[in-house]
Amino acid sequence: MKILFASDLHGSMFYCNCLLDIIKNENPDKIVLLGDILYHGPRNPLPKDYNPQDVFKALNSIKDKIICVRGNCDSEVDQMVLDFPIMADYTILNVDNINLFLTHGHLYNKDNMPNINDGDFLIHGHTHIHTIEKLEKATYINPGSICMPKENQENSYMIYENKNFIIKNLQGKELKSLKLA
């Protein structure tokens, strides 16, 4: 199974179009959105081509492929316009006998670990910083931000396929990877 992970779109139609192009090129079986879909939040500047109405329409057109968790900028009013569930604080996905704990990162993160088992993966956005880090019990992965990266990082997303996690920039260049045995 091929899964595309993206986080922190923040209502940018420019970056939503980039994401749609990436989806067309990568052709994933599923798309995991790790929160902060439509709203930019009061601490962030307006993103390029901020247009939440067009973003929700575009995402609704691919709703059957989307798995989503709630970000700190997502709300019930966002759920009213999105045709796929976004209000769960986390979900657990098992793929290739690997448990992936998916969340936004504002509630559960490497400093406030969820109750997961040794060898599981904690995957979240929120920090806008792409990361792959082995922790004591689990592996922490952040695909970074598709829209507003921080710490001078590139805009990024992640692909999981055949027990490989690959964080890429918007042009598809590999930035970081983790290959499992």
CA–CA separation, 68 and 89 (whole Å): 9
Handedness of CA 96, 83, 145, 139 (dihedral sign): negative
pLDDT of residue 44 exceeding 90, the answer is no
Residue type, 178: L
Rg, Å, the chain Cα set: 15
Specify the CATH number of the domain 3-179. 3.60.21.10
Distances (CA, A) of 27 to 51, 96, 112: 25, 19, 34
Average pLDDT, the chain: 97
Least confident range of 40-49, 62-71, 92-101, 170-179:
40-49
At 124 the pLDDT is 98
Distances (CA, A) of 1 to 20, 75, 129, 160: 19, 30, 25, 8
Which band of pLDDT confidence, cut at 50, 70 and 90, is reported for residue 89?
Answer: very high
Higher pLDDT, 47 or 181: 47
Contact indicator for 29, 65 with CB cutoff of 8 Å? yes
pTM, rounded to two decimals: 0.97
Contact indicator for 104, 126 with CB cutoff of 8 Å? yes
What is the mean pLDDT of the segment spanning 110-114?
Answer: 95
Using CB atoms within 10 Å of the CB of residue 104, give its burial: 0 to 12 exposed, 13 to 18 middle, 19+ buried. buried
How confident is the model over 142-157, as pLDDT tens digits?
999 999 999 999 999 9
Cα angle: 51, vertex 53, 57; to 5 degrees: 120
